[in-house]
Chains A and B, each alone.
Chain A
Amino acid sequence: MAQPFNPTHAVRFDVGRGRVSVDGAEARVLVPSDALGHLCSSASPEGVKDFGRRIGTEIGRRVAARLDGAASLGEVVEHLGGDLALVGLGSLGVEVWGRALVFTVTDSPLGKDGDRLLAAVLEGALQRALSRDSAVLPLERTDGKVRLVVVNPKTAPRVSEWISSGVAWGEALTRLNAGS
């Protein structure tokens, strides 16, 4: 059984050297969220996706160091959500709608412009932590809470079409569970 998430001394500020690090890893840069959001909104989708996957790979690496493949849903949410909170991208949660796995991120500082970035971060984390290639697609956003569904990369274009065509996120989940 995995140890509980303990963020004590996780973030280290070396003021003399002007260096910020998490768990002694590579140096981090503290930037304003609105600046990052503006950058994401102006960047290409592929660039945002690649940028987010790199952030998620670093998070997945730390989660994989503490969890194995037998980790429960609660443990994954605890550790993955803990590291996402250290980065400052919001509070992570999980919903299971039938067979569909849905991540929820609350109070993300990037807002709606950062949903694609969040999806890329989670894809990179799952790839690094659990060695699974997945596609995370934003379903809906309400009151600072964004729902992101985890699907097969082959199914992702169809779900994106449903969402862009105005299909409600509940109906999209129903169609996913029905296999249509």
Chain B
Amino acid sequence: MDVQEQIAKLESLLGRIQKNAAKPRPAAAAAPTTTAASVVAPRPAPEELPPLSHSPPTARVDQGIVPMARPTPDTGIAAVQPEASAEVEELDMTDAEIVEIDGGGGPPPIEELDLQPVPADEPVPESAPRAAQALADEADLEPPVKTPPPESGRQIVAPPAPAVAFKEEEAEEADLTGGSDVDDLLQPDHSGGPISKAPPGMPTMEQLGETVELEGADGPGPALELQVAEAVDDEIAPDELEFAPPKKEFHGGYDHALAPPASAASDLERMREADPTSLPAPASLAEPGSPSLAGMPAVRAAIAPAPVAAPAPVEPTVVARPPVDAPHAAEVVVAKPVKLPSTFLEILDLSLGL
């Protein structure tokens, strides 16, 4: 809703209020007369604005309040104190026509209105903020140098001033951040706000107490240092007399770059002259660069495997057992039960029968 629409609604509301004010009012409601001896009939129940759009009423205005009768000793008739009933215009407005006007120092919203009169005799709590008028009486009081603890009682509360409030926030920030602007901290508190005011999300002065500045607080936060294990050298320095066995990737063999001794050729020639039937020197003893002995026909024929004739497949001779025409191969001989004689005479007769 922009400003133009709000202005238009306000103008329409003002017009309806003026229109309702020009209407004639009922006599009873227009001039409520009260006497000391008259009994005023109870007024009708206060009208309530019907709720619209299924929402609770935003305001209710009582036209009059019937006070409780208190008997008088003279007449015995209940005397009615004249009521200072305020004539309140009944606003003909709906929820939809309620306009919220944002003004810096404007009235509070309707929900925050306190229509109940505050009793004059009720004592004001010490911690309640006081109005700026009361500050004038205490102007001669010297404000505390430092912010007192909350148990020190009432302190001077000044109406908020933009510049002062700004300085106060600055001072708080300086105090929290460890600033050194002591003059700002010594200024009296004229902001009117609570003594220990801390920005949201920050601890209050009561929680902080006497802050001790730590060295390096402004610096970057501590960083975790991960201790990395140093790479351990798996290979231990071998001893002078220690023999290093071949690695597991070593599969045996000899160094191909190993050259035969210089006297190998002469020794071989001498051996050939001594024994003509000796075999030619192996390739490993040949001089580097000499033709391979495997290429010689005689050597190739000597080292060639002899051809082996593949064995012809032999059919085994199977001798099968002839079938036996005897289905009942097992025979069980049941032992006949031996009947022992019961008397000695029978046993004796059996023995004499042998």
Contact = CB atoms under 8 A, between A and B. Distances in A.
Given A100-B354, A155-B354, A179-B354, A132 B349 contact: yes
A99 B343 contact: no
A76 B341 CA distance: 14
B214 interface: no
A77 B353 CA distance: 21
A150 B348 CA distance: 8
A177 interface: yes
A77 to B, nearest CB: 8
B263 interface: no
A128 B241 CA distance: 110
A101 interface: yes
Interface centre among B340, B342, B347, B349 (most CB of A within 10 A): B347
B96 to A, nearest CB: 130
Interface stretch (A24-32, A42-50, A67-75, A139-147): A67-75
Interface string B317-354: 00000000000000000000000111111011111111
- Interface range for B: 10 to 19
Interface centre among B342, B349, B352, B354, by most chain A C-beta atoms within 10 angstroms, is B354
A66 B345 CA distance: 15
A126 to B, nearest CB: 7
A72 B347 CA distance: 9
A69 B349 CA distance: 12
A1 interface: no
Contacts of B352: 132, 134, 150-152
Contacts of B341: 73
A176 interface: yes
A81 B147 CA distance: 133
Contact of A71 (B340, B343, B351): B343
Interface string A152-180: 10010000000000000000000011010
A130 B354 contact: no
A4 B324 CA distance: 65
A71 B345 contact: yes
A152 B353 contact: yes
A35 interface: no
Interface in A92-129: 96, 99-101, 126
A64 to B, nearest CB: 12
A72 B345 CA distance: 8
Contacts of B344: 71-73, 75-77, 130
Interface string B201-243: 0000000000000000000000000000000000000000000
Q: Which 5 A-B pairs have the closest CB atoms?
A: A101-B351, A76-B344, A99-B350, A176-B354, A73-B344
Given A71-B344, A101-B348, 12 more contacts: A69-B345, A70-B345, A72-B343, A73-B347, A76-B344, A99-B350, A100-B351, A101-B350, A132-B345, A151-B351, A152-B352, A177-B354
17 contacts: A69-B343, A70-B345, A71-B344, A71-B345, A72-B342, A72-B343, A73-B341, A73-B347, A99-B353, A100-B354, A101-B351, A130-B345, A130-B348, A151-B351, A151-B354, A152-B354, A177-B354
